[in-house]
Amino acid sequence: MKVNRWGLLAGILLVPVLLRAATADPIGLETQLVDIPTAEVWDRYQASSLTRVYDHGTLMETVDFGVYPRVNIGLSLAVHELVGSSDSVRVLDPDFQAKWKVYDGDLYLPAIAIGYDGRRYGYGYDKNHRYTRTKHYLDDRKGGYISFSREIIVPGLTASAGVNMADFEWKKVYGFVGMLYHVANPLALLAEWDGIHNVRDSRLNAGVRFYLHPSLALDAAVRRIGRGNESERVLQLRYVTNF
């Protein structure tokens, strides 16, 4: 097993923080759909733990903290090929994310947030989108972004849209748009179009979100719909607490 010392250090530093978590708060905000960020943030002294299992037995743990009013920061750590019987498990470099909600929205304008998301998906692909155990990623980091969200048309239907700039390069400016609809008390539907730059780079994702508990939600989603071998199934479990 190849171990990245920075990844292990990040994991060790997260453990004491998680152990200090207090009584859970209800999941009252949708800060993320499948991949795209909304304009919502966790409250101050609130923390979110997101466990994601996806392509090639990869497990990613993301922890976000409400450190100031309207401001969230977080850290993500992924272990490639952890799930399954592979003998080449690899701890990937940790990634950083941050979000600042700059406007709450009103009757005419949506809520607005700016942020940075360093998470990358699809480790081990080459430039021709083939899985060859390289160090490249199929989906690059979102990088800097601005996101807009508001409820539209009917109660329970929330739309989010925005633009992002991977690696802060103008030639890597992408768009994203998505919707979340609360069908019933324990169930919501998710749909998004991410990475909008050209048809080949864009991704269609869809899924369902089950609210198992006021502090716990489970997502089952499909990413890169219609992309053949590149399509993947994703499971996410989010838990919200105080610290």
Backbone angles phi, psi at 104, to 5 degrees: -80, -15
DSSP 159-224: EEEEEEEGGG-GGGEEEEEEEEEEEETTEEEEEEEEEETBTTT-EEEEEEEEEEETTEEEEEEEES
Residue type, 228: G
Rounded to whole angstroms, the Cα distance separating 59 from 234 reads: 10
Q: Are 39 and 112 in contact (CB under 8 A)?
A: yes
Nearest to 54 by CA among 154, 137, 159, 145: 137
**Tell me, what CATH number does 112's domain have?**
2.40.160.40
Domain tally, the chain: 1
Token pair of 192, please?
A: 């998004």
Q: Quick one: pLDDT at residue 20?
A: 42
Sign of CA dihedral 15, 17, 23, 27: negative
**pTM confidence score:** 0.84
> Would you write out the chain's pLDDT as a tens digit for each of its 243 residues?
444 544 444 454 444 444 443 344 445 578 999 999 999 999 999 999 999 999 999 999 999 999 999 999 999 999 999 988 887 899 999 999 999 999 999 988 999 999 999 999 999 888 888 888 788 998 989 999 999 999 998 989 999 999 999 877 777 899 999 999 999 888 999 999 999 988 777 999 999 999 998 889 999 999 999 988 889 999 999 999 987
| Alpha-carbon distance values, 226 to 40, 171, 175, 202 (Å) | 30, 26, 19, 11
Residue 222 lies in domain: 5-242
Q: What pLDDT is recorded for position 4?
A: 52
Residues 6+ apart with CB under 8 A from 218: 209, 210, 212, 235, 236, 237, 238
* Residue 41 · residue 112 · CB < 8 Å: no
Token pair listed for 5: 């010392």
Q: Give the tokens for residue 151.
A: 């409820």
Question: Is residue 242 a contact partner of residue 25, using CB atoms and an 8 Å limit?
Answer: yes
